[in-house]
Amino acid sequence: MANIAKKVSWSGRGEDRGERTPLLNGAEDGKYNRKDIVRSRPKEIPHNEKLLSLKFESLDYDNSENQLFLEEERRMSHMGFRCLEIRRWVICGLIGFFTGLIACMIDIAVESLAGYKYFVVKQNIDKFTELGGLSISLILWAVFNSAFVMVGAIAVAFIEPIAAGSGIPQIKCYLNGVKIPRVVRLKTLVVKVFGVICSVAGGLAVGKEGPMIHSGAVVAAGVSQGRSTSLKKDFKMFEYFRRDTEKRDFVSAGAAAGVSAAFGAPVGGVLFSLEEGASFWNQMLTWRIFFASMVSSFTLNFFLSIYHNKAGELSSPGLINFGRFDSDTVQYNLYEIPLFIIMGALGGMLGALFNLLNNWLTIFRIRYVHRPCLQVMEAMLVAAVTATVSFTLIYFSNDCQPLGPDHTEEYPLQLFCADGEYNSMATAFFNTPERSVRSLFHNPPGTYDPVTLGIFTLAYFLLAVWTYGLTVSAGVFIPSLLIGAAWGRLFGILLSVIASSQSIWADPGKYALMGAAAQLGGIVRMTLSLTVILVEATGNVTYGFPIMLVLMTAKIVGDYFVEGLYDLHIKLQSVPFLHWEAPATSHWLTAREVMSSPVTCFNRVEKVGTIVDVLSNTSTNHNGFPVVTHTTGHDEPGKICGLILRSQLIVLLKHKVFVERASSRLIQRKLQLKDFRDAYPRFPPIQSIHVSQDERECMMDLTEFMNPTPYTVPQETSLPRVFKLFRALGLRHLVVVDNENRVVGLVTRKDLARYHMGKDGLEELHLAQM
């Protein structure tokens, strides 16, 4: 892969707006004096997929157990902890409720808008079919699509670029412990919801399911904090949960609630959250996540049933409804299993092809399509092309099917078909993708012509490849399912042609389901959670085993060629993502080799000036500082006695907790954990804190605020061992010490993430401040 100029990234156009994400942990504060900010477009940095960005920070999943924290915990009674636990359950309930509500809103908005669009276009087509002049209909359709997409794309590109795409890679990173700037903000949620309504209504080859996961995560991050920093509204609730540890747990519940609402799959949601995010499995946490999922699905179900005037019937647990596979037709035979495996392999290959094409396209986009207006224009172009391709295919298709009395098509297009018939290609194209999937699963045998399906598969495949990665909020689940359902049904039809005698072949819907699973599995490479999601979404357990086989095969075959789509996108953003285990052949590396050194340390009682200078040093930009007993010089490192974070130091400086002012302690309030929580998560940057020349000479006693028992490892520890400790406990800083307990280095996420398995064994990525 050649070096390419990298301009667009998840943190968006930070540079243009004067944001200095790496330093400020996503803070936006324009009040302070910034001489060193380059307002002009910065020099283009060559991008290479072998790079690792230093821009992304880790979450502090490890509690800083300093004296303040311990005092608070020790003060708390047994009852206090029980109340906390109840509050956690309440929060999870709220997360589920609001996520379900958002899902409901999206569903109703999309259905209404798309319904209106298809109604108008169908009227128009019906009118012009006899008169001639269908090109006017085409233009109408294309304009409709482009207009919707334009509005959505503008919102995303100009207001909040992080809301683009499905958000699943971002949430995956967040749950992995990477702080992606602005990913769980209220603004992102608003833009995301608005954007996804526009893009689905705009007829793009996208789904509204993926974004639900992101939405759920944002809801969780908001609700659990009991305030909105963007709205400057603090409800004074849930203050205990204002730290990364708790927040990340809630975000995993939110992601699960999102999956649950999207697919009506509460268990699938829990498994998704665990498969993609968790490292340490905690039973109580899992149950809370499960609860959030259940509430979310139930809320959606409840409100949709009211909307559909069937209050209390609870028949739509998810955004997508795959329809019911009746139990009498649901069966498979032993000799079909090899066929399913073949489909899985096919899905793996097609998925890999999808990912490869999309990967190239994304690199192209990173290089050339980085201005917001260009991005909006591309999105509009795709919308217009989608309409045109659909229209052309419908126009030239002569696959007419009789319109049965119980037809499921809401907008059957007659076009040039005889009366009482409808165009079969239009079922697939002139519909929201969810409906098309359902038709492919359930329409009786003979509904689709093989040629129609073949052409549709090809066209939709290319459209979906082009669409994913556009600057619109949209998911890839439904397009994948649709592509797979189409070729799966084709596969089923071909089989029934070959073995025409067997009645079992007569159900192409089964093969459509397997194809959908294979294609989706080939693209996103999930197994356990996806199996459960599909089982729950189809409401059928019998197909669980074949679906599992198909997904496993798809994953194995797909992994042979290229990684999963989400992983590719994560890689393209150079995120220091930690996998489950260290690379297998990394035992020859030790902590001494991977650690960063020398380490900037502080003394237990340190001069304010030194601290300010270190924090202001933009070239190093460290976030965690070992505290040592005494540093006599740079040559001899001091003995470790604690670890303090940049954010803690900032709060200390802001409150001017200096030894010299201790005498006036009586009038000065003692610093409490609350002060740290109030500043969380957007700690002010060091530049915003004014420290006078006199104050620079003061001393700060860190003893009370540092974490006195940071995890340490000896220098000889092997990389896998370091990795395991780091990953299992969700650490941000791991101090490497010699046998005298003197600090010799610091291991952070980037030190571990840069070693990965390449084609020829272990590879080391380069680090780049992007």
Which 301-330 residues touch its own copies, going by CB under 8 A? 302, 311-315, 317, 324, 326-327
Q: At its nearest, how many Å lie between its own copies and the CB of residue 69? A: 8
Nearest to 392 by CA among 429, 352, 431, 434: 429
- Phi, then psi, of 196 in degrees rounded to 5: -70, -35
Q: How far apart are CA 121 and CA 94, in angstroms?
A: 40
Q: How far apart are CA 371 and CA 661, in angstroms?
A: 51
Q: Which is nearer to its own copies, 181 or 317 (CB)?
A: 317
Selected from 3, 585, 617, 692, the binder of its own copies by CB under 8 A is: 585
Q: What contacts 274, CB < 8 A, 6 or more positions away?
A: 252, 281, 286, 289, 529
Per the CB < 8 A criterion, the answer to whether 77 and 34 are in contact is no
Q: How far apart are CA 379 and CA 373, in angstroms?
A: 10
Question: If binding is defined by CB under 8 A, does position 724 make contact with its own copies?
Answer: yes
Nearest to 446 by CA among 388, 414, 402: 402
Helix (H, G, I), strand (E, B) or coil at 308: coil
Q: Going residue by residue from 145 to 164, which x/- string records binding to its own copies, judged by CB under 8 A?
A: --------------------
Question: If binding is defined by CB under 8 A, does position 74 make contact with its own copies?
Answer: yes
The answer, yes or no, to whether the previous bond of 710 is cis (omega within 30 of 0) is no
Nearest to 610 by CA among 600, 618, 619, 620: 600
Q: Centre a 10 Å sphere on the Cβ of residue 31 and count the other Cβ atoms it contains.
A: 8
Q: Of residues 474-513, which lie at the interface with its own copies (CB under 8 A)? A: none
Selected from 1, 5, 37, 70, the binder of its own copies by CB under 8 A is: 70
Q: Which is nearer to its own copies, 126 or 581 (CB)?
A: 581
Segment contacting its own copies (CB under 8 A): 148-156, 216-224, 507-515, 703-711? Answer: 703-711
Q: At its nearest, how many Å lie between its own copies and the CB of residue 339? A: 14
Q: Which is nearer to its own copies, 9 or 717 (CB)?
A: 717
Q: Of residues 550-569, which lie at the interface with its own copies (CB under 8 A)? A: 552
The answer, yes or no, to whether the previous bond of 372 is cis (omega within 30 of 0) is no
Q: Of residues 367-406, which lie at the interface with its own copies (CB under 8 A)? A: none
> What are the residues facing 143 on neighbouring strands?
none
Q: Which is nearer to its own copies, 479 or 730 (CB)?
A: 730
Selected from 40, 77, 663, 664, the binder of its own copies by CB under 8 A is: 77
Question: If binding is defined by CB under 8 A, does position 279 make contact with its own copies?
Answer: yes
Question: If binding is defined by CB under 8 A, does position 334 make contact with its own copies?
Answer: yes
Q: Which is nearer to its own copies, 390 or 527 (CB)?
A: 527
Q: Which is nearer to its own copies, 122 or 510 (CB)?
A: 510
Question: If binding is defined by CB under 8 A, does position 593 make contact with its own copies?
Answer: no
Selected from 549, 582, 627, 734, the binder of its own copies by CB under 8 A is: 549
Q: At its nearest, how many Å lie between its own copies and the CB of residue 179? A: 22
Segment contacting its own copies (CB under 8 A): 220-228, 456-464, 538-546, 613-621? Answer: 538-546
Selected from 709, 763, 764, 766, the binder of its own copies by CB under 8 A is: 709
Q: Of residues 750-769, which lie at the interface with its own copies (CB under 8 A)? A: 757, 761
Q: Of residues 47-66, which lie at the interface with its own copies (CB under 8 A)? A: 63, 65
Question: If binding is defined by CB under 8 A, does position 294 make contact with its own copies?
Answer: yes
Segment contacting its own copies (CB under 8 A): 43-51, 357-365, 576-584, 682-690? Answer: 576-584
Q: Which is nearer to its own copies, 21 or 540 (CB)?
A: 540
Q: Which is nearer to its own copies, 34 or 579 (CB)?
A: 579
Structure tokens at 321: 């409804």
Q: How far apart are CA 755 and CA 384, in angstroms?
A: 43
Q: Of residues 727-746, which lie at the interface with its own copies (CB under 8 A)? A: 728-729, 737, 739-741
Q: Of residues 212-271, which lie at the interface with its own copies (CB under 8 A)? A: 266-267, 270
Q: At its nearest, how many Å lie between its own copies and the CB of residue 383? A: 36
Q: Centre a 10 Å sphere on the Cβ of residue 656 and count the other Cβ atoms it contains.
A: 18
Question: If binding is defined by CB under 8 A, does position 119 make contact with its own copies?
Answer: no
State the pairing for strand pair 640-645/733-737: unpaired
Per the CB < 8 A criterion, the answer to whether 230 and 185 are in contact is yes
Q: At its nearest, how many Å lie between its own copies and the CB of residue 576? A: 18
Q: Per-residue DSSP letters for 608-650? A: HHHHHHHHH-TTT--SEEEEES----SSSPPBEEEEEEHHHHH
The radius of gyration computed from the CA coordinates of the chain, to the nearest angstrom, equals 28
Q: Of residues 594-653, which lie at the interface with its own copies (CB under 8 A)? A: 629, 639-641
Q: At its nearest, how many Å lie between its own copies and the CB of residue 551? A: 10
Q: Centre a 10 Å sphere on the Cβ of residue 392 and count the other Cβ atoms it contains.
A: 14
CA 476 to chain centre: 12
Q: At its nearest, how many Å lie between its own copies and the CB of residue 221? A: 22
Q: Which is nearer to its own copies, 511 or 658 (CB)?
A: 511
Q: How far apart are CA 52 and CA 9, in angstroms?
A: 13
Segment contacting its own copies (CB under 8 A): 118-126, 133-141, 293-301, 693-701? Answer: 293-301
Q: Which is nearer to its own copies, 291 or 411 (CB)?
A: 291
- Residue located via tokens 């959505």: 152
- Torsion angle, CA of 703/705/706/711, rounded to 10 degrees? 120
Q: What contacts 328, CB < 8 A, 6 or more positions away?
A: none
Per the CB < 8 A criterion, the answer to whether 66 and 704 are in contact is yes
Q: What number of residues does the chain have?
A: 770
